[in-house]
Structure 1
Amino acid sequence: MLLGRLSTRERRFVVVPLVALVFSFILYYQEYLHSARSTKSVPIVVSSSVSGRVDPQPVCVPPAPKRPAVLLSHTYRDDGILEVNPDGSHPIYELIELANARWKSKLSRASKTLDEAVREYEKRYRRRPPKGFDKWYEFIYSRSKDGRLSFDQDEYDQIYKDLEPFWGYHPLDLQRLQDEQEFHTDTFTLGTNETNQLEVLRVSFASGVNSWNPDDLLGGARSIIEILKDVEQDLPPFRAVISPHDSPSLFSDYEVKKMALDAASSNTYMDVDSIAIGPPNGWLSGCSPTSRARQGGSEQLSQQKTFIHDHRKAMDPCRHPYLLESIGEFLKHEHPGPSHRMLPRFAYCATLMHHDIQIPTLFAWVDDVLPRSDDPQWDQKLDERLVWRGSNTGIWHAQDTRWQKAQRTRLVDLARDLNGTVKVLLSSSTEDVRVGEGIEIPRGKVNPAMMDVAFAGEPVGCHEETCLELRRRYEWRRRQGSKESGQFKYIIDVDGNAWSSRFKRLITSNSLVFKATVYPEWFFDRIEPWVHYVPVQVDYSDVYDALAFFRGGLYGEDRREELARTIANEGRAWSRTFWRKEDITAYVYRLILEYARVMSSDRDAMSYDG
């Protein structure tokens, strides 16, 4: 009423100051609320029940960090590790965003025709595709999902990595080495016979009381024949020597492999019979003289928190020497001597220190988790702890072995430790808040609330005295069936004697998989960490931080569960689209085409001329 009696000019002098006063009050009140929240301790409640639900046992947490004017960048190291800047946002936001961009780019640039696939091949590998490439392309096109080609017609870099050193060998030398390998103990030779049918052509297994069951050792041969049965008629003549064991066995000498790759790059051949190499230096013989492992560089370059941004590089012991003291594959060989030749032999897996040619099998392969009722949808899974059950495989357990350092032992020890504290990065509800240094939380509170990790069954792979020690030292729970494990939202997958065969089943579920491994498997070129699974370091230093980001703190505060659900769903969709039985067939089919060519006396004649 009063304003109505005033002139327009008089109203302006009254209203403008009033608006400014109200606006100043709003700003002051918001700052007051933010300050109040920042000075209050946040109660965190710890679980004491089997499902990860919480009972009121508050733990005071330091005040949340204030928002800086500008969020700073994290450091992406060339060893595959992201180093966290406390004044940046939580790095997992960024890791997920970058990974999704890479994945979309990979899908969008995939070849869509045979001609495009040929051009992409020549661009990547600087040579023509192998003979039979057109037949191979017909196969993958006929098996494409819903009539649409996936990008797997391009993503076969692992085959290139495995076979490229052999391009630096003369074919006659390769054939001689292959002939010698056929008589190597504990191998079988698979190939085509006179009528071009696949069969086991030779078996060279040890005999005696402590030898393996030959029928068990030939399980891989039967699996590979099953994989190739639909393309058998189109395979070239070949003979492949294959190790029947889980682990790789061909340890590479760095200098020998470099000479082979240099010869391949220059289209020349190295003399395989007059190679001069230095004295053996254990596992370090597989590393470059300038590598961190050979230079004796400290693994702990920084006390900052870290995450994986490049999973393959994070698996490299030459970049991360601590791996040599953390994984059974390396621990069980004190001072191994490298091979002074690159030998053409296949295995079911390999680390970056080995040159076994990887050939996948159907071991533990599943099309789906069945019955589907054992794998509820994300929102119906009741347990929010990180789960793992398994045997104490990975290394022989005896007084003279370093089994305490092996990956599975360390995981169980980590989860059962109730002493001291662990520093954990907590998430924030938005990306525009600094992540901070993390907070110290008592292990006696965080482990029961966030971890359900234990050995299952009975001790295996151990000397009698050490078996008794293992039985006394650890709790041995019953094995989990798919229905029981299906109640957990978060599952961690770790290596055993070699690669983890359970990964296929886990990623096909509706749970989010955390994966720690040193084996870059055949499918690693076509899967994207942080899109389909969560990569974690083998020392488990980032496990609590990654888990807290997705599930929230002990009380579930500031959880990013929608991101966890998305990755779990994307992992399952990826498995059912890109890890079908026909995808394995396509990989092994192309591997055999490439292998037959590099072994041929006339490599040009074994190249595609379309």
Structure 2
Amino acid sequence: MVRHSRAYALFLVLAILFAIHYYLQPFALPKPDLEQRSPRYTELKPTRSKPFRTSPQKHTGLERVPEGEATYDNKGLFHWSAGKKHPIALLIEQAEQKAKAMEAKIANVKSVKDAARDYTEAFGMRPPKGYAYTQSVPLPHIPALPSLIPFVHKPFDAFLSHPAFLLRDRVTNLRNKDKSIFTLTFVPDGEGDEGTACESDEEWDPEDWDVRSRGRVVVRGEMAWSWRCNNTLSYILPILPLLPPDILTLNPPLEIAFSTDDGPRGMVHNSFREKSEALARAGRVWPDGQLHQAEQSMRWTYGWSWSCPEDTPLKTMGSDMVLNDIEELEAAQHGKIHFAFIKISRQRTGGKAFVADPMSYMDYCQNPHLMAVELQPAIATCRTMWNSDILGVPLDGVRETVPYISWDDKPNHKVFWRGTATGSFHSKRDPWRSSQRERLHFFSTNTSGSVDLLLPNLASRSVPRQDVLDAWFDVGLSGGPVQCSEEDGSCADMAREIEFKGRVKKEDGAKYRYVVDVDGNGWSSRFRRLLQGNNVVFKSTLCPEWFDTLLIPWYHYVPVKMDYSDFFDIISYFEGSPSGDIYGNDDQAKVIAQHALDFVNEKWREEDMRSFGFLLVLEWWRMLSDNREEASFQG
């Protein structure tokens, strides 16, 4: 009898453990019922979700290029050890070819039907209703080819697997409970808030609200009428008269939530995202019970690697935390999700490596050294490659300008950067010395040792680091300790370890030929001004922006590795040797600077940002529509 009792007890324990494992493990998401359909609005069969990539060119594995010992890898890097041409010359040549191919592809789009076909081929479904109205927006480039602006379309895929009523409820909940949210509700003309009247040919400025009548939008939420809210209104209000009239008379009215946080908000498990996107492409939604179970499953784990596909390096490292890791979880819940903290390690030895594909390189799933649990519909200021946020058009710093200085008249040939120590909180608990801005400062002020330079003539030369920095770099943190803990002595540590440099006016910064753009608390708000300054912009970032697929590396700007290990070789290619006995390729730098200026003047204009907002509203309209078939393009 005792033996039977023990056997029964053992069986009971095993059954309980199995049940716990089944219900709590994050990978045990329920298989969605593909027979529960919402009205079909797709035309292609559902396929396995691909990583959220926006780069026009992808290299898988290690692929050889004709010039000597050079290869691409799947982490976005171009490795070079020998050849007849300098690796940067090869990258610039390929960028020029990519630019020509992109313009030719855009030129082939002759009608809205052509653009709709491109949308379907790129995203596996038809565009949203009102797509024909994109003809109303005066933009010759961006709406023409949806596949070149995926950030206005692709992030909605997973949301389309959720019932519209649930998403509307979540928007209401965000507006009522989230202190970082404001919402815009679209209503018929004359029924909106006082001061919001604006026609399509007008500029709206918050300072003249008292001389404007009621318009087409009601502003609500904790951050209503904040400066970021007003920035958003300045590009949204002029497009409202151009939208399909139905949008202004919906019942319930269309309400869009915007986040004012500096960084991304959402992150879901890759398995959840893949199943959600598959449902969306099939025109179906999660059954209520399965969706609830899947979302509850994600509440028991937290970690960057949960958002990664199964076969990626970060996923296989097993570096996640569960709810029992209370200390780290509390840090994450209080906004201390520091993707800025990077433990630098060279991925390959021998030869040189440069960033060829920034979209792959900023993918932390592929590059583990770059190190909310339900889908909440809100438009964020920025995101990383695997966040679930819908990306908006943040206008912080976008309208700043500097006087034009021709390339030949710029007096300073050095690399320039100044910035405050944002990007992380500085405390004993946080590895702030590994944050992106601190690393840039330490990299640019460490004068010990020597540098093995690859010169423009392909010769190698060992040069004292002091000589390299003196010749080429004027880079450093400014302003003193910020975002630091006085209590644990971290502010004092910063003051002691960092030799803060003086501030420099942006007009004086434009006198340098080369400038650096690096993330702070989120994306960099100075990027547009730097591109417009007729400089070569060296950019290091983890935050893709709404226009990124149109922006071509080595053509409009120069991407730099996160550990800055390629920086000296890059500047040497353009400027020659520090001593001046070997000339660089100053003429190619001049061309890149001109391309950057052209990009701002042709593809990052006010109407370009409004056009992106226009498409964003159309996608949001379909997402919150009960009948997504009717809310899709019928042309």
TM-score, L = length of structure 2: 0.75
Alignment pair present for 1:389 and 2:443: no
Deviations 1:347-398 (A, max 9, x none): 11101131111111322113742xx3xx421111121111100101111112
Q: Which residue of 2 aligns with 1:399?
A: 428
CA distance in 1, matches of 2:481, 2:400: 31
CA contact (8 A) 2:576 2:584 kept: yes
Q: Secondary structure at the match of 1:444?
A: helix
Q: AA paired with 1:460?
A: V
Pair 1:82-2:78 in alignment = yes
How many Å apart are 1:184 and its aligned residue?
3.5
User: Which residue is equivalent to 2:633?
Assistant: 608
Structure 2 Cα separation of the partners of residues 359 and 492 of structure 1: 24
Distance 1:379 1:247 in 2: 38
Listed as ranges, the matches of 1:316-331 within 5 Å are: 316-324=363-371
Q: Structure 1 residue 510: deviation in Å?
A: 1.3
- Is the Cα contact below 8 Å between 2:134 and 2:143 reproduced in 1? no
Select 1:451's aligned residue among 445, 462, 473.
Answer: 473
Give the Å deviation of 1:124. 2.4
Say if 2:268 and 2:298, in contact at 8 Å, map to a contact too. no
The residue identity in structure 1 corresponding to 2:141 is S
1:294 counterpart = 2:315: yes
Partner SS state of residue 550, structure 1: helix
Q: Does 1:165 align with 2:158?
A: yes
Any conservation in 2 of the 1:200–1:221 contact (CA below 8 Å)?
no
The yes-or-no answer on 1:153 pairing with 2:144 is yes
Kindly indicate whether residue 543 of structure 2 is the aligned counterpart of residue 519 of structure 1.
yes
Match of 2:221 in 1: 203
Offset of 1:471 from its aligned partner? 2.1
2:357 matches 1:310: yes
Measure the CA separation in 2 of the matches of 1:152 and 1:309.
26
Write out aligned runs for 1:390-429 (5 A): 390-428=419-457
Among the aligned pairs, what percent are the same residue?
28
* RMSD after superposition: 2.2
Aligned partner of 1:138: which letter?
S
Answer whether contact 2:267 2:373 (CA < 8 A) is retained.
Answer: no
CA distances 1:530-584 after superposition (whole Å, capped 9, x unpaired): 1100011111111111111111110232301100000001100111110001100
**Secondary structure in structure 2 of the residue aligned to 1:85:** strand
The 5 Å alignment of 1:113-124 reads 113-124=111-122
Q: In 2, distance between residues paired with 1:268 and 1:414? A: 51
- CA offsets 1:19-75 (integer angstroms, 9 cap, x no match): xxxxxxxxxxxxxxxxxxxxxxxxxxxxxxxxxxxxxxxxxxxxxxxxxxx951411
Give the conservation status (yes or no) of the 8 Å contact 1:227–1:361. no
Q: Quick check: 1:292–1:319 contact (8 Å CA) kept in 2? A: yes
Of residues 153, 164, 187 in structure 2, which corresponds to 1:193?
187
Instruction: Tell me the equivalent position of 1:441.
Output: 463
Give distance in 2, aligned partners of 1:177 and 1:239.
11
Instruction: Name the CA distance, whole Å, in 2 between partners of 1:184 and 1:507.
Output: 39
Query: Alignment partner of 1:559: what SS?
Result: coil
Q: Which stretch has the larger CA shift, 509-518 or 346-355?
A: 346-355
Q: Is contact 1:489–1:512 with CA below 8 Å preserved after alignment?
A: yes
User: In structure 1, what residue type is equivalent to 2:89?
Assistant: Y
**For structure 1, which segment, 298-307 or 106-115, has the greater mean C-alpha deviation from structure 2 after superposition?**
298-307
Contact 2:124 2:281 (8 Å CA) reproduced: no
Residues 256 and 340, structure 1, Cα contact 8 Å, conserved in 2: no
1: CA distance, partners of 2:116 / 2:83: 47
Aligned residue identity for 2:462: E
Which secondary structure does the structure 2 equivalent of 1:478 belong to?
Answer: coil
Which of the residues 604, 618, 633 maps onto 1:579?
Answer: 604
Instruction: Evaluate the alpha carbon distance shift between residue 127 and residue 257 of structure 1 in structure 2; reply closer, same or farther with a 3 A threshold.
Output: closer
Partner of 2:281: 265
Larger deviation, residues 272-281 vs 186-195: 272-281
Residue type of the alignment partner of 1:274: Q
* Equivalent residues of 1:75, 1:85 under 8 A apart: no
The structure 2 residue matched to 1:131, chosen from 90, 107, 129, is 129
The reply to whether residue 497 of structure 1 matches residue 486 of structure 2 is no
Query: What is the CA–CA distance in structure 2 between the aligned matches of 1:108 and 1:563, rounded to whole Å?
Result: 23
Q: What SS class does the counterpart of residue 476 from structure 1 fall into?
A: coil
Checking the alignment, whether the CA contact within 8 Å between 1:529 and 1:535 is kept in structure 2 is yes
Give the whole-Å Cα distance in 1 for the aligned partners of 2:177 and 2:82.
Answer: 54
CA positional deviation for 1:585: 0.2
User: Matched residues in 1 for 2:121 and 2:398: separation?
Assistant: 33
Deviation at 1:113, TM superposition (A): 2.9
> Would the aligned equivalents of 1:255 and 1:277 in 2 still touch at CA under 8 Å?
no
In structure 2, distance between residues paired with 1:462 and 1:395: 9
Residue 246 of structure 1: how far off its partner (Å) = 1.0
- Secondary structure of 1:353's counterpart equals coil
**Secondary structure of 2:621's partner?**
helix
Q: Separation in 2 of the partners of 1:441 and 1:346? A: 48
Q: 1:400 to 1:608 in 2, by over 3 A?
A: same
- Structure 2 counterpart of 1:495, which letter? D
Q: Cα distance, 1:176 vs. partner?
A: 3.0
After TM superposition, the structure 1 = structure 2 runs for residues 322-401 of structure 1, keeping only pairs within 5 Å, are 322-324=369-371, 339-366=372-399, 368-369=401-402, 372=403, 375-401=404-430
What does residue 232 of structure 1 align with?
240
Q: Which runs of 5+ in 2 are unaligned?
A: 1-65, 193-214, 249-253, 319-344
The CA deviation at 1:226 is 0.9
Query: Cα 1:538–1:509, aligned 2, differ >3 Å: closer, same or farther?
Result: same
Q: CA 1:607–1:379 in structure 2 vs 1: closer, same or farther (change >3 Å)?
A: same
- Of 107, 110, 122, the residue aligned with 2:103 is 107
Does the 8 A contact of 1:424 with 1:439 survive in 2?
A: yes
Change (3 A) 1:177 1:88: farther
The secondary structure found in structure 1 opposite 2:513 is: strand
**Residues 1:592 and 2:635 aligned together:** no
Shift of 1:407: 0.4
Shift of 1:456: 1.7
Q: Deviations over 1:87-134 (max 9, x none)?
A: 452111111111111111111121233333233223323333222222
In the alignment, residue 113 of structure 2 is paired with which amino acid? Answer: D
Runs (5+) with no aligned partner, structure 1:
1-69, 206-213, 325-338, 429-434
Taking the aligned partners of 2:261 and 2:298, their CA distance within structure 1 comes to: 29
C-alpha deviation, 1:249, in angstroms: 1.6
The equivalent position to 1:95 in structure 2, one of 70, 80, 91, is 91
**Alpha-carbon deviation of 1:157?**
1.0
Separation in 1, partners of 2:562, 2:134:
37
Q: Distance in 1 between matches of 2:399 and 2:594?
A: 17
How many residues are paired up? 499
TM-score, normalization by structure 1: 0.78
CA contact (8 A) 1:408 1:494 kept: yes
- Distance, in Å, in 2 between the alignment partners of 1:304 and 1:189 is 52
Q: Is 1:559 matched with 2:550?
A: no
> What CA distance in whole angstroms lies between the structure 2 residues aligned with 1:387 and 1:98?
27
Preserved contact between residue 420 and residue 443 of structure 1 (Cα < 8 Å):
yes
**Aligned-partner Cα distance in 2 for 1:222–1:425:** 49
Rounded to whole Å, the distance in 2 between the matches of 1:255 and 1:395 is 30
